[in-house]
Amino acid sequence: MAFKYGCDPELFLKVGTEFISAETKDGPLIPGTKANPFPVRGGAIQVDGVAAEFNINPTTNFEGFFGNIKSVVQTLRQTIHKRNPHVVLTATPTAMFKQTYFKSLPEKTLELGCEPDYNANNGGKANPRPSTDKPFRTGSGHIHIGWTDNADPLSDGHMLDCMLVVKELDRYLYAASKGWDSDTQRQELYGKPGSFRPKKYGVEYRPLSNAWLRKPDTIKTVFTIVQGVMKSIDSGKHTFDDPYIYDKDKPHECIASMFGE
């Protein structure tokens, strides 16, 4: 079976040492909304609360996956710089805002949990909608996997397929992510193991933060594990026999052109 892979991460905006919102009192710094993403080469961009979100066109291979990420992030950065050249994009799992600034933002910008997600570890029940009055927001790095067309997302059969995929990804991908993501605050709102959204084309895997976007080798790690898990499931093994082992001591090449870090 041919699988397709995509992602829809959220990035934060900083000026100096302070986080700022992608939605300002003078309007958004980028075009596009959750309901109507703005198409760009390789995917689309949009405002998501205080964050800048992007998604990539689905692809079957790592070259397309990485190329689409790089293209869309570069466009996103260039678009923001036209409005404010001092802004730096950052892949930070948890962004802490100044209390006074945070409280000055529109209520709509601060809303959380517009759509429910589900938990594969409790039989697919919906997770509680997150809520907090603390001045922080979290950045996701969700992975999308496609294997079908126009499925009924909430049908019993499709939900079972999604939960199988999510449990295998938890076993290998979520476990590996601890090598590059030490943040724990994000899970106060999002990203608990087992979290997912069923899609008509497959599944959205939601436990990962955006931290895997910081380095080329972690982007490669994520794709390799996801692809390996899906190939293994497709073969009927229901386990990933040869996981990519993340080496936290391996030197990393920073994508400074992408995130300015």
Domain boundaries, the chain: 4-259
What is the pLDDT, as a whole number, of residue 171? 92
Rg of the chain on CA atoms, in Å: 18
Work out the burial of residue 199: count CB atoms within 10 Å of its CB; fewer than 13 is exposed, 13-18 middle, 19 or more buried. middle
Cα separation, 18 vs 119, in Å, equals 34
The DSSP line for 38-76 is: EEETTEEEEEETTEEEEEE--BSSHHHHHHHHHHHHHHH
Q: What does pLDDT average to over the chain?
A: 88
pLDDT by residue (tens digit) across 180-220? 999 988 888 888 999 999 999 999 999 999 999 999 999 99
CA distance from start to end of the chain: 38
Contacts for 7 with CB less than 8 Å, ≥ 6 apart: 55, 56, 65, 69, 141, 142, 143, 144
pLDDT by residue (tens digit) across 122-170? 999 999 887 777 889 999 999 999 999 999 999 999 999 999 999 999 9
Whether 195 contacts 163, CB under 8 Å = no
For the whole model, what pTM was predicted?
A: 0.89
Whether 60 contacts 2, CB under 8 Å = yes
* Cα–Cα distances in angstroms (integers) from residue 21 to residues 110, 113, 159, 190, 199, in the given order: 10, 18, 35, 19, 29
What is the pLDDT, as a whole number, of residue 116? 86
pLDDT above 60 (res 23): yes
pLDDT above 60 (res 257): no
Contacts for 27 with CB less than 8 Å, ≥ 6 apart: none
Q: How many other CB atoms sit within 10 Å of the CB of residue 90?
A: 18
Three-class SS of 181-233: CCCCHHHHCCCCCCEEEEECCEEEECCCEHHHHHCHHHHHHHHHHHHHHHHHH
**Which residue's entry shows tokens 């955006």?**
210
Whether 118 contacts 127, CB under 8 Å = yes
Per-residue tokens: 142:
């969700």
